[in-house]
Amino acid sequence: SDTLYLKVRAGIIGDDRIAVFLRDMSEQRRFEAMRRDFVTNVSHELKTPAGAIALLAETVGDAADDPDAVRYFAGRIAKESTRLTELVHRLIDLQKAQGSGAAVAVRPLGLREVARRAIAENQVQADASHITLQLSVDGRSLPLVAPEPGAAPEPDAVVMADGESIVTAVKNLIENAIHYSPEHTTVRVAIAHAPAKAGREPKVTLRVVDQGIGIPRESLGRIFERFYRVDPARSRQTGGTGLGLSIVKHCVEDCGGTVAVWSRPQEGSTFTIELSAAGENDAR
Ligand code: ADP
């Protein structure tokens, strides 16, 4: 990957003179290689469940007179097709996040309700895994559902960002936190105004903190890559496409923010999204 690819053109321009033009093609080569990898990965990821479904369907046919076996194989087929559907949805999300760039509508956005939407989308899964979800803003814990209108005002942190992008990002982080945590643990969504620093514009952070299996140190640098999974065998069993975090990264970066991870195996992981706070002058 460190090889330099040069396009060379030379021509005689005089009796004793030759002109040589060098063009650095490395960037383009890298880009093409990445695109090739991506297509290979996508076809592989699509072929695996598709192949499994074909095989299972055949087996169901053979086992037609054994109701238990039919039920078992039908269940496996359903699981594989869910996986296929999930993958297609993820690819669409990724496409949206990558393609948008300048197209995202960055405007003042209250993170409290963003977090509530992302939490609501994961509530069923959390309940099924006996995982408690929590929400806080600047250290004050808040109910997961917005209170009735007219109730006491709640704290919020307003950032400059695109609502859909950030909901997608936070939703994916919570989904992972639940997925990679044992039962009876807690997943916290903590929103906070970052401490003011001289010469730096005000920032807001949103953290998703879990008490899950954690991520080995040597994988930390790679988890935001498309299709990277710490344990491909495990994720194949439990679902997961290796696309979630690359979608998170794109969504957050499209809004001018950053996403970072802290993790220790057996202790848990913390994903931190940082965005610019909306200033007084940003029209609400
Ligand atoms: P996947 O669909 O496999 O979850 P992601 O892109 O969302 O793909 O995550 C990439 C990999 O990072 C996962 O396969 C998993 O190994 C690891 N990972 C992501 N989030 C967590 C977490 N909260 N705790 C432990 N491991 C995680």
Poorest-pLDDT segment among 23-37, 144-158, 255-269: 23-37
Residue 262 forms beta bridges with which residues? 270
Ligand 1 centre distance from Cα of residue 246 (Å): 10
- Residue 39 burial by CB count (10 A; 0-12/13-18/19+): exposed, middle or buried? exposed
The predicted pLDDT at position 91 comes to 85
Taking only the tens place, the pLDDT of each residue in 153-164 is 999 999 999 998
**What one-letter code names the amino acid at 25?**
M
Atom number, ligand 1, closest to the C-alpha of residue 244: 7
* Mean pLDDT, all residues of the chain: 88
**pLDDT over threshold 90, residue 6:** no
Tell me what ipTM this predicted complex has: 0.98
Question: What 3 state SS string does 148-181 have?
Answer: CCCCCCCCCCEEEECHHHHHHHHHHHHHHHHHCC
**pLDDT over threshold 60, residue 113:** yes
Ligand 1 centre distance from Cα of residue 227 (Å): 10
Of 84, 87, 62, the C-alpha closest to 72 is 62
Helices (H), 63-141: 67-100, 111-128
Ligand 1 centre distance from Cα of residue 66 (Å): 38
DSSP for residue 102: G
Ligand 1 centre distance from Cα of residue 31 (Å): 25
Ligand 1 centre distance from Cα of residue 82 (Å): 18
Q: Are 81 and 49 in contact (CB under 8 A)?
A: yes
> 55-59, 61-65, 270-274 — which one is most confidently predicted on average?
270-274
Supply the residue whose CA is at minimum distance from atom 11 of ligand 1.
229
Supply the residue whose CA is at minimum distance from atom 4 of ligand 1.
240
Backbone angles phi, psi at 75, to 5 degrees: -60, -45
Look at the block and give the residue holding tokens 């495990």.
234
* Choice from 89, 93, 180, 252 to test ligand 1 binding pocket (greatest atom count within 8 A of CB): 180
Q: Are 169 and 162 in contact (CB under 8 A)?
A: no
Supply the residue whose CA is at minimum distance from atom 12 of ligand 1.
223
The predicted pLDDT at position 112 comes to 97
Q: What angle do CA 229, 232, 233 make, to 5 degrees?
A: 155
C-alpha dist (Å) from residue 230 to 81, 88, 164, 218, 265: 23, 21, 28, 10, 12
Taking only the tens place, the pLDDT of each residue in 121-131 is 999 999 999 99
Q: Are 187 and 209 in contact (CB under 8 A)?
A: yes
Transcribe 12-27 into DSSP letters: E-SSS-EEEEEEE-HH
Check: pTM over 0.90? Answer yes or no.
no
Which residues have C-beta within 8 Å of that of residue 118, sequence separation ≥ 6? Answer: 167, 170, 171, 173, 174, 189
Ligand 1 centre distance from Cα of residue 1 (Å): 26
Residues with CB under 6 A from ligand 1: 176-177, 180, 210, 212-215, 223, 228-231, 235, 240-246, 269
Gyration radius of the chain over CA positions: 24
Ligand 1 centre distance from Cα of residue 53 (Å): 25
